[in-house]
């Protein structure tokens, strides 16, 4: 897969001077406290989606920071325009894809996600460290924001009436149907009207991507002849994993709804549906 790198592949590139390695792990929904990694991959730095790289002025969780903020943080991390960026997380595929999509949205394409994350790395007995690295040299990367990568509720509302756009929801099916209550207080249960359920977990096995043929079949079944795909989830994190897989399958015109259900579910003026 073009967007995913295996543990074996990364291990052989650890000494590549162009490599920049980030831990983008996050706490799963419903958990409290701070994210703490069990171990750190060699020379890895922290990619803090929730704080350092979020728009802290937005009351919604995890929303994308400005291009200027992203540039500043990435230059401090030593990211150059010709770097190879690899992103991992503690287990499976959850938040690493969010970091991957953020890089893409900021005009940086040479970025990959580590298959299986830290859990698989440890399973293979590969080397780790106890602390994150701080870059010694400032990078020259300058973000060039692509506004179509992240979209707002007005664009999603418009898409609910557009036959050429398909909205896919990465949350668990029980949350999509409204049978399960939301982990965040004040949220309605259900889904965006005219959207379809594609739980991220259905595309994974032991935290890693299922076969590309299986993933392509799932997308084909739901997408049909649509020319634009929009992705939603709970707070704009797992939706990015669907974007990663859609890109892997060759789809274009992909957008992630940054506010996702955290915004839509709390806004009584926006239409929802329940059931399958």
CB-based contacts of 176, cutoff 8 Å, min separation 6: 169, 190, 191, 197, 199, 276
Helix (H, G, I), strand (E, B) or coil at 55: coil
Contact 197, 276 (CB under 8 A): yes
Report the alpha-carbon angle 150-152-153, nearest 5.
145
User: Could you give the strand order of the β-sheet that contains 19-23, starting from the edge strand earlier in sequence?
Assistant: 4-5, 111-114, 84-88, 19-23, 45-46
Helix, strand, coil: what percent of the chain each, to 5?
30, 20, 55
Q: Please say if 65 is a catalytic residue.
A: no
CA distance 269 to 188: 12
Record the tokens describing residue 261, joined without a space.
């259900």
Element (H, E) at 149: none
Record the tokens describing residue 155, joined without a space.
């664009």
Out of 65, 233, 240, 249, pick the active-site residue: 233
Neighbours of 111 (CB within 10 A): 22
CA distance 126 to 108: 28
Q: Catalogue the active-site residues.
A: 233
């Amino acid at each position: 897969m073009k967007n995913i790198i295996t543990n074996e592949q990364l291990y052989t590139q650890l000494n590549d001077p162009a490599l920049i390695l980030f831990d983008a792990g996050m706490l799963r929904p419903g958990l409290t406290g701070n994210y703490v990694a069990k171990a750190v991959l060699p020379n890895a730095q922290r990619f803090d989606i929730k704080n350092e790289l979020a728009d802290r002025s937005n009351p919604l969780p995890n929303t994308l920071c400005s291009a200027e903020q992203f540039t500043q943080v990435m230059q401090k991390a030593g990211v150059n325009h010709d770097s190879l960026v690899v992103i991992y997380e503690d287990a499976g595929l959850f938040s690493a894809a969010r970091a991957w999509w953020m890089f893409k949205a900021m005009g940086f394409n040479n970025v990959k996600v580590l298959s299986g994350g830290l859990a698989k790395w440890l399973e293979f007995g590969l080397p780790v460290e106890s602390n994150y690295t701080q870059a010694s040299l400032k990078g020259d990367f300058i973000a060039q924001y692509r506004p179509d990568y992240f979209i707002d509720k007005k664009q999603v509302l418009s898409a609910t009436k557009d036959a050429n756009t398909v909205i896919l929801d990465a949350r668990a099916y029980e949350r999509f149907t409204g049978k399960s209550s939301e982990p965040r207080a004040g949220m309605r249960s259900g889904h965006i009207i005219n959207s379809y359920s594609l739980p991220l977990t259905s595309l994974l096995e032991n935290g890693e991507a299922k076969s590309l043929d299986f993933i392509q079949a799932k997308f084909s079944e739901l997408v049909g002849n649509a020319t634009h795909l929009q992705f939603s989830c709970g707070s704009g994190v797992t939706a990015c994993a669907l974007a990663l897989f859609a890109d892997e399958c060759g789809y274009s015109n992909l957008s992630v709804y940054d506010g996702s259900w955290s915004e839509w579910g709390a806004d009584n003026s926006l239409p929802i549906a329940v059931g399958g």
